[in-house]
Structures are given as C-alpha cells and as structure tokens.
Amino acid sequence: MSGRYDEAYAWSMRDPEGFWAAAAKDIDWFKPWEKVLDLSEPPYARWFVGGELNTCYNAVDRHVAGGRADQAALIYDSPVTDTIKTFTYRELQDQVARIAGMLKGFGVEKGDRVLLYMPMVPETVMAMLATARLGAVHSVVFGGFAPNELATRINDAKPKVVLCGSCGIEPGRVVAYKPLLDAAIEQAAHKPGVCVVLQRPQAQAALIAGRDHDWNEAVARAKPADCVPVKATDPLFILYTSGTTGIPKGVVHDNGGHAVALKWSMKNVYDIDPGEVYWSASDVGWAVGHSYIVYAPLLHGCTTVLFEGKPVGTPDPGVFWRIIEQHKVVSLFTAPTAFRAIKRDDPKGEYIKKYRLDHFRTLFLAGERADPDTIQWAERHLGRPVIDHWWQTETGWPMAANCLGLGMQKVKYGSPTKPVPGYDVRVVDENCHPMKPGEIGAIVVRLPLPPGCLPTLWQNDAGFLSSYLKDFPGYYKTADAGFIDEDGYVYIMSRTDDIINVAGHRLSTGGMEEVLSAHPDVAECAVIGVADALKGQVPLGLVVLKSGVNRPHGEITRELVAMVRERIGPVASFKHATVIQRLPKTRSGKVLRSTMRKVADAEPFKVPATIDDPVILDEIRAALQEIGYAGIAAG
C-alpha cells in the first residue's frame, strides 16, 4: 500500500511538468508561464519560461495584502548584543521598500548586482529582499572573509553597490569588517562606485568621501520603491562556493523555480504551516541561510528567527532551548556540528530540562553527515523526531529527506531517508554504470534537475558543464559518495575524494566515523585517508573528547582502534587514532577533512578562507607528530 510520499514521488518522476505546475499555483505571478520546462538547449533546463513574478512580493507584500500584516515576520535574537527585536510583515515591507529605494537612488536597476558583506542583523535580511524587490541580483559574502577572497567575488560579480556592516560580533571579540572591505576593493580590478555602511555601536567605521555612505542617513532620505517584475529565469542571487581550483564558483539561483521549490518544501518536507515560528540556526552567508532563514519561511507566511550567536558560549549550551521556549519555535534546522558542541558541553542534557519546549515538534539536521550517535543523543534528550536530510549550495533545497509533510517514513540511522520528489537520485561507478543496492559509488541525480537548483554558474557556462555535468553524462555530479539500500534509502558516506582505497578496498571514512562517534567519551571525530607506501592509503582517526573526560588518551585510542576492527573488520586497516582539542572547520561548521589529509601527508596546501581558526591546523600537525605518524615524520 503506497503512502502520500510514494504517490508524490511517483508523480514527480512520471510527470514533472504537471507536478511542478501544481506547486507553482502557490506562488503569485504577474504573468503566467508559457512553458513549465524548457529543454530546448540540453543539458540546460529552464523552468516556468515566460512567467513573470517578484520574489520579494511573494515573500512580503502578498502577506501584508493577504491578512498577515500584523503577524511577526522576523524575530532578531542576538545574545551577543543582548538584543531581541520583532518585525511584523507590515514593518518588514516598509523597511524593505525604503532600502530598495536607497539602492534605486544609487542607480541599482533590474539585473544589476549588489554585494552584501554583512553580519547577522535584520538589515541584512532586508537588504536581500530589497535587492530582489528591484529585480537586481544579490551576492552575500560571509562576513569576515579575508580581503583577497572578497576581492575575487567582487571581480566576478561586478557589483554596482556594496552593502557592508561596520563589524561582526563573535563571542568575546568584535571583527571589524570595513577595513577588510577597503583592502578588498584596493586589490580588486572592479571598483564598486558606492559602498553603504551600517554603523554598529560596537565598532564605528571610517568612511571614504565620495564612495562611502552612512546606511541610516541614506535610507532616511530614500523614497520607498515598488516591486519590479522579472522573468522566472532571471537570476535572484549568486552564492559563491569552493571550487577545486581554489577559485570560487558563483552558483546562480533563479527567481521562479527557486520560489516554487522553496515554498513547496516548507509544508511537504518540513511540515510547517503558515503563521508558525520556524528557526534555521545558520548564517545568511550560506545556502541554508538564504533558503531557510530568509526565503522559504517568508514565502510560506511563517515567522522566521534570525540568531546572532553560537550554540554554546552565548552564554551557555542552553541558548537554543531558551530561544525555542521564548519564541514558541515549532521546528529547528541546524548543523550536526552545533549539536555535537552542545552534547560536548552538556552531555547529560541538563540545560534542556530547564526550558519548556511545548511548541517544539521537530529537529532537522543538515550541512554535513549526521552521525547516528548525535541523532540518538538528541532524540533521547528532546523526545522529538530528529530528521537528517541532505542537500547542497547548488540545489538550494533538500535532495533527500524524511518528508514529514508527506507522512513520516521509518528512520534509518545514518541515512537522510529517501529522495525528495523531483530528484531522481542514482549511484554509479566511475564509468556511469549503476551500482547494486548497498554498493558504494558516486551519487548523481538524473537530469533535468527540479526547480530551485542551479541553472548554471555566474558568467561561466563552461565551468558549470565541467564541474557538474561532464563526468557523468546525463547526470548532475553531487561529488558525494554513498549507496542506496534495497528499501530506497540514500546513505551519504563522504565526499567522493573521502572514499579511501586501502590495498584495493574502497572504504568509506563516514562508516568509520560512525564507529568512533559511538564511543561514550567521544564528542566529535573525523577520519581521513593518509598516504601509506604499502597500502596506498590507511585511515587515521582524530577525535575530540567530551568535557570532563579525564581518562588516559592512550587507553581511549586503543579502545577506538579495537572498535573499528570489531565493527568494520581488519580490512579497514584502522591502527591509528589521536585525541585533539578541536576539529578544523569552516565558519558554517563543515569539517575540513581534505585539509587535514594534506597536513598529515605533509603536502602543500592553501589555508581555506572559510576556516574558523587557522591555528587549529598547527595543533593537529603537532598532535600527529607526537604519535610519530610516518607521513608527518617524513614531512
């Protein structure tokens, strides 16, 4: 007997045009589309061709007109500044229209780019919506990026205007943004004509006469601007993601398909109703922030929470539960890294018990692989479903998930469940031949991709083809590796380059990480494949212990080696593990496994611009040298 998920998925595969045309009825169109799906120039796909809309209108104005004017649209909660502020949909509309008027006054028109180098403040969300209101294209760069990385993005996007905050605020420190922007513009070949600076009281920025303008003064003298109709296929934003060459790729998301897919996902994937309070604890500089702090909740008529803080230390591991109780949050979406940090500092879940979570229904995890131990810890202490799901910057919304709005599926730990309707997910070998159930291979998605996914890279069609479509003709390359079991559940084990080859055996580092994370003393871990003269590669485990663990490290690592040997077998050749203080991560929480592998192999590497603290790499080098690993000793 098939359920709602099976019926929806089958419809999306059998008749994608009919399926997405039905979903598109939940979006307000200024002009209806002429063709749902245009495949006249393969392998490119264009959705809702001929249709015209405005994303800002759908996210803000239509809710004001439709009876939600006095409902909270945006709650800003900033424990680092001790600030909480709520904006209704009417207030949001007013602010967005004025910021759009400011941009229009500086010459921004349909198709122009606006680059945002901003902290987690309401003005950032409003500026994204204001750019969309004018039919312009925003590109948000994570605040605090180094000048050379920012300059690269300025050169590629060629923004007419740059919007900048004077500073960002981290626990215990203030990060001045304006000097970084000034240095980036000095390096960049493209020189933006206008910079508008939001002055925060924690750090006032010096303004350059003739180029720089004060945000509040510029907005105060601006006239509100109306929504500008754009084509469904016109770009909404550019979001830069890491490229294998070291040059960031400008991932494009369009207006029409993006609005349709994200609106559809809020009910069908997350099971959220309009009017409910939804919280994505991410950053607007990342894809999750674009999709599930800003666009999807507002398109759906929800209240969205903008959080400026950390899961621990602002002020304690209970900040998530305080926010959920105080704002009546029904669903939280965050990264597994956040929960591992909470579990590390509050292993018994004592802080959870201090708050009433009556309204809270579901925890969603994504952004990296969610180990079963972390999921089970959260389930045990929250008493709520914990849903792992899988997607990428390029797709903009989930590819595999337990679609709660279509009826919850059985949970299988280690799997983000089944493909989301619209995604034909396959597993293939390097020659694009299908793998049998349970066999690890490259995970790909059969073309065309559904609405909401990237149609191309910014000004780089050739790069789009070579990065995503060349290696597996007819498919989109996710660059993730894993398998699909006999029940159709997808398992994401690692990035393709994290499948290690030990004496001819292809092994997943993710499977070994599952074993390590199950040890009662381990808070988080990573397994990397390092060079070995005999076997090609061997696995090396790096573990961070929970707070309060005082046992000898050698005793713990011997137990870890024995666990892997018992659960995966001698074939894994897992013989080395070491305890480190912390894992190197990007600011979005992803563990830098490839960088650690290069450290271990004494290979040259570029310190990633996204790393949260480069000093960690020196600590890891010292830890590996201490255990006498050959790759380090040779380096």
**pLDDT tens for residues 414-454?**
999 999 999 999 999 989 999 999 999 999 999 999 999 99
Q: Are residues 123 and 163 in the same domain?
A: yes
Strands 52-53 and 303-307: unpaired
Predicted confidence (pLDDT) at residue 174 exceeds the cutoff of 50: yes
pLDDT at 612: 66
Which amino acid, residue 1?
M
Measured CA distances, 245 to 124, 464, 584 (Å): 30, 13, 21
Q: Are residues 471 and 515 in the same domain?
A: no
pLDDT at 244: 47
pLDDT at 1: 41
Which 3-state string (H, E, C) describes 489-544? CEEEEEEHHHEEEECCEEEEHHHHHHHHHCCCCEEEEEEEEEEECCCEEEEEEEEE
Q: Are residues 470 and 564 in the same domain?
A: no
Query: Which residues, 6+ apart, have CB-to-CB distance to 260 below 8 Å?
Result: 20, 23, 24, 26, 27, 47, 48, 451, 452
What phi and psi values does residue 540 have, to the nearest 5 degrees? -135, 125
CATH classification of the domain holding 411? 3.40.50.12780
CB of 253 within 8 A of CB of 454? yes
Mean confidence (pLDDT) of the chain? 92
Predicted confidence (pLDDT) at residue 611 exceeds the cutoff of 90: no
Q: How confident is the model over 307-329, as pLDDT tens digits?
A: 999 999 999 999 999 999 999 99
Q: How far apart are CA 547 and CA 345, in angstroms?
A: 6
Average pLDDT over residues 168-174: 89
CB of 272 within 8 A of CB of 330? yes
CB of 523 within 8 A of CB of 343? yes
Q: Are residues 521 and 625 in the same domain?
A: yes
Q: Are residues 441 and 577 in the same domain?
A: no
Q: Are residues 456 and 533 in the same domain?
A: no
* Residue where a domain terminates, one of 448, 482, 516: 482
Predicted confidence (pLDDT) at residue 620 exceeds the cutoff of 90: no
Confidence label for 170 from pLDDT (cuts 50, 70 and 90): confident
pLDDT at 30: 98
Q: How confident is the model over 354-382, as pLDDT tens digits?
A: 999 999 999 999 877 788 888 999 999 99
Strands 52-53 and 230-231: antiparallel
Q: Do the domain assignments include residue 491?
A: no
Q: Are residues 73 and 151 in the same domain?
A: yes
Confidence label for 633 from pLDDT (cuts 50, 70 and 90): very low
pLDDT higher at 511 or 211: 211
First CA to last CA distance, the chain: 60
Which amino acid, residue 72?
A
CB of 100 within 8 A of CB of 80? no
CB of 399 within 8 A of CB of 392? yes
Predicted confidence (pLDDT) at residue 42 exceeds the cutoff of 50: yes
* Residue where a domain terminates, one of 418, 448, 482: 482
**Domains: count for the chain:** 2
Average pLDDT over residues 469-493: 95
Average pLDDT over residues 97-126: 98
Which position has the token pair 């770009």? 235
Q: Do the domain assignments include residue 362?
A: no
Structure tokens given for 448: 């065309």
pLDDT at 140: 97
Q: Do the domain assignments include residue 145?
A: yes
Q: How far apart are CA 179 and CA 110, in angstroms?
A: 30
Q: Do the domain assignments include residue 379?
A: no
Confidence label for 588 from pLDDT (cuts 50, 70 and 90): low
Predicted confidence (pLDDT) at residue 230 exceeds the cutoff of 90: yes
The long-range contacts involving 354-357, CB below 8 angstroms and separated by at least 24 positions, are: 354/318, 354/321, 355/318, 355/321, 355/322, 355/324, 355/325, 356/325, 357/321, 357/324, 357/325, 357/382, 357/384
Average pLDDT over residues 391-413: 96
Q: Are residues 511 and 476 in the same domain?
A: no
CB of 416 within 8 A of CB of 404? no
Structure tokens given for 602: 């004494």
Q: Are residues 277 and 420 in the same domain?
A: yes
Q: Do the domain assignments include residue 489?
A: no
Candidate from 143-147, 260-264, 477-481, 607-611 with smallest mean pLDDT: 607-611
Candidate from 13-22, 548-557, 618-627 with smallest mean pLDDT: 618-627
List the domain range (segments joined by +) for residue 522.
Answer: 503-634
Q: Are residues 152 and 23 in the same domain?
A: yes
Confidence label for 60 from pLDDT (cuts 50, 70 and 90): very high
Query: Which of 4, 17, 20 minimizes the C-alpha distance to 397?
Result: 20
Confidence label for 632 from pLDDT (cuts 50, 70 and 90): very low
CATH classification of the domain holding 588? 3.30.300.30
Q: How confident is the model over 524-552, as pLDDT tens digits?
A: 999 988 887 667 788 999 999 999 999 99
Q: How confident is the model over 449-472, as pLDDT tens digits?
A: 999 999 999 999 999 999 999 999
Q: How many CA atoms lie within 13 A of 354 on its CB side?
A: 14
CB of 171 within 8 A of CB of 266? no
Q: How far apart are CA 385 and CA 408, in angstroms?
A: 10
Q: Do the domain assignments include residue 260?
A: yes
Candidate from 229-243, 471-485, 616-630 with smallest mean pLDDT: 616-630
The 3-state DSSP composition of the chain as helix, strand, coil percent (nearest 5) reads 35, 25, 40
Predicted confidence (pLDDT) at residue 255 exceeds the cutoff of 50: yes
Q: What predicted TM-score, i.e. pTM, was given to this entire model?
A: 0.86
pLDDT at 634: 32
Q: How confident is the model over 294-310, as pLDDT tens digits?
A: 999 999 999 999 999 99
Q: Are residues 442 and 572 in the same domain?
A: no
Q: Are residues 75 and 112 in the same domain?
A: yes
Q: Do the domain assignments include residue 358?
A: no
pLDDT at 335: 87
CB of 177 within 8 A of CB of 143? yes
Q: Do the domain assignments include residue 350?
A: no
Strands 475-484 and 83-88: unpaired
Average pLDDT over residues 394-399: 97
